[in-house]
């Protein structure tokens, strides 16, 4: 261990430090936003936190969130950067990675700059941007994208669905879910009078997700680029990823809380009313067997990251889930659910507290692998001398249900209302600043930075 130092800004005492590979009892010394000492006992700190009986984990990194993103005519996303990062901090996160969305016909660089303006001065914790490419012009591919990668925007997303965002197979190959099948099934269900939110899931069966996953992997193999398959919902897509990994292809995968806790039945609501709209997301929640398949993928290492896919809308709002068009067909229900604040507690409770995964696996899935894959390691993602002091203190024995009244996001509901959780974050420290403690946000808006990233250390 390091020799104790004096003149610390903050000392965390008595906690059990957990990383992706280790677990040990020590004090943590912080100065100028960085971890400068880890020792049996530290003296000389301006502030001390007694964390006896608590776990000190690396701050969560949620690498798949949607914030202040255009969502279609007359639909408004519920979170801006202030409310989203506030909510993330309360859930034990110290960094989020949202998406700068290119609108067709516009410069990718301009879209990134405009998105950055929305975040500047608003964030409670650090953030960095992925890119979403929807218009792969010669200028975008030949000039803007390479320049943006050099500037630290080192990951981008492409869609295989949605009218305004979908790219053809040829276009996917040029920039690096079987959308025609979804459109066919949606139209068929509407003709048959099946328009309730529940049928959103029926229009997106696992076979479509499986085909899209295989196609994306095949394209990446042809071009020779690494790929992350996001929000995997069940066995069929999971097994495509495992097949690719067993062949040695650079394929990574992500899953989310909704796929280990929710099912398609949640979208039925009561008496076929619109309450099922609260659970509409893509891919949709599936069934109990799919949940078991996701756990299989988590425990065997198929999944490298566990993200929220936070995409929040208000429920009781004509510009949200209860948009008037949504009553005419599920296709118009805003697609996404809030989850950035509940991601870590759900996985801790369902995984660590129930003995499905170790604390080390939890850290790996929620922080370390995100940092490694997205070019943030060794600054972020672990607890060690030289790392940013991004630390979350956990009470592993604290039991309480998830309640909308306790959450900090901009949405007016949570899909997990009343869901019992064992193990909660109690203090969130972002670059040495206490942002959340005792159930309250105590950090300052604007203290979080917008970071550029390096290349992945895993690829």
Mean pLDDT of the region 61-80: 94
- Position 71 scores a pLDDT of 83
Question: What percent of the chain shows pLDDT beyond 90?
Answer: 80
More confident position, 184 or 19: 19
- Position 92 scores a pLDDT of 98
Mean pLDDT of the region 276-294: 97
pLDDT exceeds 60 at position 166: no
pLDDT tens-digit map of 234-245: 999 999 999 999
pLDDT tens-digit map of 423-434: 999 999 999 999
Confidence label for 142 from pLDDT (cuts 50, 70 and 90): confident
pLDDT exceeds 50 at position 172: no
Average pLDDT of the chain?
92
Query: HEC states along the chain?
Result: CCCCCCCEEEEEECCEEECCCCEEECEEEEECCEEEEEECCCCCEEEEEECCCCEEEECEEECCECCCCCCCCCCCCCCCHHHHHHHHHHCCEEEECCEEECCCCCCHHHHHHHHHHHHCCCCCCEECCEEECCCCCHHHHHHHHHHHHHCCCCCEECECCCCCCECCHHHHHHHCCCHHHHHHHHHHHHHCCCCCCHHHHHCCCHHHHHHHHHHHHHHHHHHCCCEEECCCCCHHHHHHHHHHHHCCCCEEEEECCHHHHCCHHHHHCCCCCHHHHHHCCCCCCCCHHHHHHHHHHHHHCCCCEECCCECCCCCCCCCCCCCHHHHCCHHHCCCCECCCCCHHHHHHHHHHHCCCCCHHHHHHHHHHHHHHHCCCCCCCCCCCCCCECCEEEEEEEEEEECCHHHCCCCCCCCCCCCCEEEEEEEEEEECCEEEEECCEECCCCCCCCECCCCCCCCC
- Position 305 scores a pLDDT of 98
More confident position, 23 or 157: 23
Mean pLDDT of the region 349-356: 98
pLDDT exceeds 70 at position 354: yes
pLDDT exceeds 50 at position 161: no
Confidence label for 343 from pLDDT (cuts 50, 70 and 90): very high
Rounded to two decimals, the pTM is: 0.93
- Position 137 scores a pLDDT of 84
pLDDT tens-digit map of 10-65: 999 999 999 999 999 999 999 999 999 999 999 999 999 999 999 999 999 999 99
- Position 28 scores a pLDDT of 98
- Position 103 scores a pLDDT of 86
């Amino acid at each position: 261990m390091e020799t104790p130092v004096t003149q610390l800004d903050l000392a965390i005492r008595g906690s059990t430090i957990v990383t992706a590979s280790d677990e040990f009892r020590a004090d943590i010394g912080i100065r100028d936003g960085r971890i400068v000492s880890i020792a049996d006992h530290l003296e000389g700190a301006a502030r001390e936190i007694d964390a006896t009986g608590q776990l000190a984990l690396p701050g969560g990194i949620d690498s798949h969130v949607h914030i202040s993103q255009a969502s279609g005519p007359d639909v408004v996303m519920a979170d801006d950067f202030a409310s989203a990062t506030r909510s993330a901090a309360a859930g034990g996160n110290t960094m989020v990675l949202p998406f700068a969305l290119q609108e067709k016909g516009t410069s990718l660089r301009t879209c990134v700059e405009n998105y950055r303006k929305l975040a500047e001065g608003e964030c409670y914790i650090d953030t960095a941007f992925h890119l979403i490419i929807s218009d792969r012009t010669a200028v975008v591919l030949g000039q803007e994208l390479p320049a943006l990668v050099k500037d630290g925007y080192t990951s981008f997303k492409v869609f295989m669905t949605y009218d305004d965002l979908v790219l053809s197979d040829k276009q996917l190959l040029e920039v690096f879910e079987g959308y025609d099948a979804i459109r066919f099934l949606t139209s068929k269900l509407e003709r048959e009078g099946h328009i309730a939110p529940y049928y959103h899931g029926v229009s997106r069966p696992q076979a479509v997700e499986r085909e899209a996953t295989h196609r994306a992997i095949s394209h990446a193999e042809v071009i020779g680029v690494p790929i992350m398959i996001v929000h995997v919902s069940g066995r069929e897509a999971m097994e495509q990823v495992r097949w690719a990994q067993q062949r040695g292809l650079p394929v990574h995968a992500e899953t989310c809380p909704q796929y280990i806790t929710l099912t398609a039945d949640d979208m039925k609501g009561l008496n076929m009313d619109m309450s099922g709209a609260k659970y509409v997301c893509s891919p949709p929640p599936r069934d109990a067997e799919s949940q078991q398949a996701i756990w299989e993928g988590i425990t065997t290492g198929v999944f490298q990251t566990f993200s929220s896919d936070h995409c929040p809308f208000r429920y009781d709002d004509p510009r949200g889930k209860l948009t008037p068009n949504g009553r005419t067909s599920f296709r118009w229900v805003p697609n996404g659910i809030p989850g950035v604040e509940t991601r870590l507690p759900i996985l801790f409770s369902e995984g660590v507290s129930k003995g499905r995964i170790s604390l080390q696996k939890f850290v790996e899935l929620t922080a370390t692998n995100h940092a490694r894959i997205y070019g943030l390691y060794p600054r972020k993602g672990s607890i060690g001398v030289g790392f940013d002091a991004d630390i979350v203190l956990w009470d592993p024995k604290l039991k309480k249900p998830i309640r909308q009244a306790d959450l900090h996001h901009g949405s007016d509901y949570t899909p997990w209302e009343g869901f019992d959780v064992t193990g909660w974050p109690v203090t969130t420290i972002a670059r040495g600043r206490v942002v959340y403690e005792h159930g309250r946000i105590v950090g300052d808006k604007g203290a979080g930075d917008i970071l550029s990233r390096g290349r992945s250390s895993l690829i």
